[in-house]
Amino acid sequence: SIPLGYFAGVGALSKRGVLVKGGNYLERLKNLDIIIFDKTGTLTEGVFEVVDIKGFNNFKEKEILEIAAYAEKHSNHPIAESIKRKFGKNITKDNIEDYEEISGYGIKAKINKKEILVGNKKLMSMYGIKTPEIKYNGTIVFVAIEGKFAGYIEISDRIKPGVAEVIKNLKNLGIKKTVMLTGDNKKVAESVAKELEIDEYYAELLPGDKIKLFEKFINGVSTAFVGDGINDAPVLTRADVGIAMGGLGSDAAIEAADVVIMDDDISKLIDSIMISRKTLKITW
Ligand code: ADP
Ligand code: MG
């Protein structure tokens, strides 16, 4: 028989904008050991802002921004959106050829017949492009033109308000460990993890790395994964409870998830655990 609490719990959560795709997930929410989070769009706003642009080798800031905006024309990655927003002009001329978005790396394209790369350090290494040591705090998007480093754009994201409190409350609810996974650089990951007092973090992960790493955590423990991206879908499926952000979240993530937080307010994670514990005490 189905405990009465399942209906009460699913109903109470739906009123709070949390969609639970089956009563059995309430049972699992009740007894979680480890909660693993994606960073961008889950713990942070996922709305990046350009904070610095630098040109090298005679390239001007304006040129770096323009080239990057053109390269990102067809991408809807939050990084791409922020660069296009900063550029501010319409990208109409269609002189973009051989466009390729490399998930976890960035963009490769030909613009005005020139070979352009726009993305992270891994993308630059992949094409043998040397980048200078730079001091930075945010996410760095490198720009290379015709096989040579030409400049970079620094962009920054913000931690969502109230997330530090949520992490603290999870500890108070008896969650044994919190973990953060991200494709972003180590420096950004470290500062977010520190500020939020997240127990462990793993940075510079490629899409396939997330699922491999996740397997490490699931032996004999009950896990939840909270994420929003297309890349997160395999891990959302694999977790005992996969939790997706309904607002910023990609369709693939929402589809793969067991629980959807419709308004992306991560404090609803606390409500979900508390309601599962309260309502599952009710039986026939
Ligand atoms: P996350 O795991 O943090 O959600 P992604 O896997 O989407 O991040 O991306 C990881 C990294 O790959 C980004 O931090 C960025 O350095 C690079 N990247 C991905 N897509 C783009 C793009 N369109 N333009 C520039 N860089 C990109
Ligand atoms: Mg993400």
What band does 284 get if pLDDT is binned at 50, 70 and 90? very low
The rounded Å distance from CA 208 to ligand 1 centre is 13
Over range 174-178, report the average pLDDT: 97
Phi-psi region of 69 (alpha: psi -120 to 50; beta: other; left: phi over 0): alpha
Does any ligand 1 atom lie closer than 6 A to the CB of residue 240? no
Span of 11-20, 66-75, 89-98, 220-229 with lowest mean pLDDT: 89-98
Span of 1-5, 72-76, 168-172, 247-251 with lowest mean pLDDT: 1-5
In whole angstroms, what is the distance from residue 137 CA to residue 124 CA?
A: 19
Does any ligand 1 atom lie closer than 6 A to the CB of residue 232? no
Q: What is the pLDDT of residue 76?
A: 86
Over range 214-222, report the average pLDDT: 93
Q: Which CATH class is domain 4-45+159-279?
A: alpha beta
Catalytically annotated residue among 33, 38, 94, 251: 38
Averaged pLDDT score across all residues of the chain: 93
Q: Distances from the Cα of 230 to the Cαs of 1, 17, 45, 279, in angstroms?
A: 36, 22, 17, 32
The model carries a pTM of 0.88
Residue 137 has pLDDT above 50, yes or no: yes
* Domain with residues 49-156, CATH architecture: 3-Layer(aba) Sandwich (3.40)
Residue 177 has pLDDT above 50, yes or no: yes
Q: What is the pLDDT of residue 223?
A: 97
Q: Rounded to the nearest 5°, which phi and psi values hold at 161?
A: -60, 140
- Distance between start and end Cα atoms, the chain: 9
What six digits make up the tokens of 235?
């891990």
Does any ligand 1 atom lie closer than 6 A to the CB of residue 107? yes
Over range 97-109, report the average pLDDT: 95
**Count of C-beta atoms within a 10 Å radius of residue 164:** 15
Q: What's the pLDDT tens digit per position in 142-169? A: 999 999 999 999 999 999 999 999 999 9
What band does 52 get if pLDDT is binned at 50, 70 and 90? very high
The DSSP element (H or E) to which 280 belongs, if any, is none
Q: Strands 96-102, 106-111: parallel, antiparallel or unpaired by DSSP?
A: antiparallel
What band does 280 get if pLDDT is binned at 50, 70 and 90? confident
The rounded Å distance from CA 37 to ligand 2 centre is 9
Identify which of 40, 179, 210, 236 to mutate to test ligand 1's pocket (most ligand atoms within 8 A of the CB).
40
What band does 109 get if pLDDT is binned at 50, 70 and 90? very high
The rounded Å distance from CA 231 to ligand 1 centre is 10
Does any ligand 1 atom lie closer than 6 A to the CB of residue 80? yes
Instruction: Say what percent of the chain tops pLDDT 90.
Output: 82
Residue 271 has pLDDT above 90, yes or no: yes
Sequence ranges of the domains in the chain: 4-45+159-279, 49-156
What six digits make up the tokens of 166?
């949520």
The rounded Å distance from CA 40 to ligand 2 centre is 4
Does any ligand 1 atom lie closer than 6 A to the CB of residue 152? no
Over range 78-93, report the average pLDDT: 92
Dihedral (CA of 113, 75, 88, 38) sign: negative
Residue 87 has pLDDT above 80, yes or no: yes
Residue 94 has pLDDT above 80, yes or no: no
Catalytic status, residue 240: no
Over range 171-188, report the average pLDDT: 96
Q: What's the pLDDT tens digit per position in 243-269? A: 999 987 789 999 999 999 999 999 999
Over range 184-199, report the average pLDDT: 96
Q: What number of residues does the chain have?
A: 284
Please tell me the residue having the least CA distance from ligand 1 atom 15: 120
What band does 182 get if pLDDT is binned at 50, 70 and 90? very high
The atom number, within ligand 1, closest to the CA of 101 reads 23
Residue 283 has pLDDT above 60, yes or no: no
